[in-house]
């Protein structure tokens, strides 16, 4: 099974998967609305706008596992993201990224090491995973890595299909 086969629900609860994004480079991010790193939404949206026409998408997965920093309902999350940061990239349902109820997608992602060789549990909100257009997990970036970080931008550009 590839990450494109794993069922994930859209933020509105509609059944879906990442298969609709196959062929694009993806940046998968566990997001939260009440975190010190929440302003990264601005940079993530900038990446989306800069590279979407070249075959790229940010994909957000709200998660409330880190200090309860994503307590909102789906409607509250959508409203916050769209009105505060103009988010246009796809957001999926709130999921667990760690622990016994870890979503199947994150079961695959956590085995990917960082540049420093660290793998395992998600450390905090806004951890980022770069996925190639054919579904290979090709990079893992810490929550503190800003979306405009030169290493992250270079990695994204290396996998743009167009």
Find the angle CA(27)-CA(138)-CA(63) to the nearest 5 degrees.
Answer: 40
Question: Helix, strand, or coil here: 59?
Answer: strand
Question: Which of 35, 81, 87, 105 is an active site residue?
Answer: 35
Q: Give residues with Cβ within 8 angstroms of 150, minimum separation 6.
A: none
Q: Within a 10 A sphere around the Cβ of 127, how many other Cβ atoms? A: 26
Residue 35: active-site member: yes
Largest distance between two CA atoms of the chain: 39
Residue the block writes with tokens 């960082």 = 114
Q: Within a 10 A sphere around the Cβ of 116, how many other Cβ atoms? A: 7
Specify whether the CB–CB gap between 132 and 161 falls below 8 A. Answer: no
Could you tell me which residues are beta bridge partners of residue 60?
A: 29, 91
Which residues are catalytically annotated? 35
């Amino acid at each position: 099974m590839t990450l494109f086969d794993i069922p994930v629900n859209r933020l509105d609860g509609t059944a879906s998967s990442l298969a609709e994004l196959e062929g694009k480079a993806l940046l998968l991010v566990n997001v939260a609305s009440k975190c010190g790193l929440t302003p990264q939404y601005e940079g993530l949206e900038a990446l989306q706008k800069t590279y979407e026409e070249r075959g790229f998408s940010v994909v957000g997965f709200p998660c409330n596992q880190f200090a309860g920093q994503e307590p909102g309902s789906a409607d509250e999350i959508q409203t916050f993201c769209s009105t505060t940061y103009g988010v246009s990239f796809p957001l999926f349902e709130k999921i667990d990224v760690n622990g016994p109820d870890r979503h199947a997608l994150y079961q695959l992602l956590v085995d990917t090491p960082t540049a420093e060789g660290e793998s395992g549990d998600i450390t905090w909100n806004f951890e980022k995973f770069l996925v190639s257009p054919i579904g290979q997990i090709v990079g893992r970036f810490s929550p503190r890595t800003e979306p405009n970080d030169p290493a992250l931008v270079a990695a994204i550009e290396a996998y743009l299909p167009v």
